[in-house]
Amino acid sequence: MGEPQVRAGDRYARELERHLTWLDTFTTTALGVLAAASGIYTYLGVRALLDDPGIWTTFAALAYSIAVSVGIFVFWSYMMRLLPAVRSGASRIGLLLTMALGCVAIIAMSSWLNAAALAGSAAVEQHMATTTQRYQAALERANANAVAGQSLARDVARVRQSFTDLSEQEAGGNLSGFSGRGAVFRVLTQKGSELQALEDQLNGVAEPIARAFADGNATLSRMRDLGVAAGPIGDRTVSFSEEAVNLSGLIAQLRQLNPAPLVDRAAQDLRDAVLVPELDGSSAETRAGQSSTITSVLDLVDQRANTLAEAAAAVIALPQPEETVYTPVSAADAIIMYRGNFIPAWAGAIAIDLLPAVLVFILMVVQAAIRSGRGEDITDDTMTVGELRAALAAAEVLRAADRPAPPVSEARAVLIRPTE
């Protein structure tokens, strides 16, 4: 039973060796094609990374891509020849660790550039789209804050109307008890005039706020168009940067148009800046009534000022728009920044570099199967026909070398006989 099993194992091993011999005829060529393809995409990635279109830039990118192709070809050639051939566990672990380190080096020097060549333009467009969304959020927030500040005009109008009503009541003698336009009336009209001026300022910013917001939306529309338009990505990036600068100016303008800080300062002035006129009552009783009414009016002014200050503080406390600045990025940088959105491109870029690792593992399995089928002892009947012919030829040469030379007389007779 032992001998037939050995012969079957030899036949199995010999069959696998024939397959490997046939596969070796084009494996090197295939490996070279993969290395060359990786080098081409690496060249495109390097050219996208280097903005200078000069001859030296082209030469540098070409030299780098050639070095990458050669490195990939040599590395995987070593792995495909040596790793399946070693037998000890320590040697296999050492070469596997070496292969892992080489794979990391290949990804670092080639794969990310391949991904940049495959999806670099799409990654830059993704960066533009993301930046546009941030600018839109900042514009809407700045506009909302400005509109909230402008809406304080209603609070100011309500307070102003209250002073206007009180001044009318004072003119009829319903406050101090003495009709006319005396000291109390002048205090009320003074504060009413201040609030009227503030209300006019708040109403005056409504149109600039609306115009700035409309201009910002138009700029955002142009930025979106640039993100999806046809044409070279470099030219679109330049135009996008210009639009981003314009939009930043509009957002800053909206922040400046927000009148909430103005209302806060006006409320402080309404409370503190009070010019009390001289009491003009004709009698002491009249002047005492005017003084008491003015004191009540000042308390009312303080209350109304606190109300306006609280309303202004609530608007000022609203979240401010995020500081957004567009920073142009290269295709290689963009593919790293937005790598999660381009997993297929990364997978293809890495696969073209690390596909030979699959071949290495296949060879390891096949070589192990050959050694298992043939066994540790090499028998004489495992020689091929070619090997047998070479062995017979070598044996014939050795026998000819060991055969004694003929005597001189016989050799001379042999040389003379044909001439007779």
What is the percent of the chain where pLDDT is above 90?
A: 19
Read off the tokens for 341: 């959105």
Q: Tell me if 287 sits within 8 A of 179, measured CB to CB.
A: no
Buried b (16+ CB within 10 A) or exposed e, 396-418: eeeeeeeeeeeeeeeeeeeeeee
| Tens digit of each residue's pLDDT (9 = 90 or more) over 205-244 | 889 999 999 999 999 999 999 888 887 787 888 889 999 9
| Tens digit of each residue's pLDDT (9 = 90 or more) over 242-262 | 999 999 999 999 998 888 888
- Cα(392)–Cα(400) distance, integer angstroms: 12
Single-letter code of the amino acid located at 289:
G
| Tens digit of each residue's pLDDT (9 = 90 or more) over 356-377 | 999 999 988 888 888 777 665 5
Q: Tell me if 361 sits within 8 A of 11, measured CB to CB.
A: no
pLDDT of residue 336: 84
- Cα(20)–Cα(363) distance, integer angstroms: 8
> Residue 323, SS3?
coil
Closest CA to 253 of 153, 327, 143, 152: 143
| Cα 140–Cα 208–Cα 321 angle in degrees, nearest 5 | 25
Q: Which residues contact 86 (CB under 8 A, 6 or more apart)?
A: 92, 95
| Tens digit of each residue's pLDDT (9 = 90 or more) over 150-169 | 888 887 788 777 767 776 66
pLDDT of residue 414: 46
What integer is the mean pLDDT of 27-44?
Answer: 89
Domain residue ranges in the chain: 2-120+341-380, 121-329, 383-420
CATH of domain 121-329: 1.20.1260
Q: Is the pLDDT of residue 72 over 90?
A: yes
Q: Which residues contact 104 (CB under 8 A, 6 or more apart)?
A: none
Q: How far is CA 38 from CA 41, 45, 113, 283, 333, in A?
A: 5, 10, 9, 104, 19
- Cα(401)–Cα(407) distance, integer angstroms: 16
Q: Average per-residue pLDDT in the chain?
A: 79
pLDDT of residue 274: 53
pLDDT of residue 174: 56
pLDDT of residue 104: 93
Q: Tell me if 183 sits within 8 A of 278, measured CB to CB.
A: yes
Give this prediction's pTM: 0.68
What does the DSSP 8-state code read for residue 259? -
Task: Please provide residue 69's backbone torsions phi and psi, each rounded to the nearest 5 degrees.
Answer: -60, -45
Q: Is the pLDDT of residue 404 over 90?
A: no
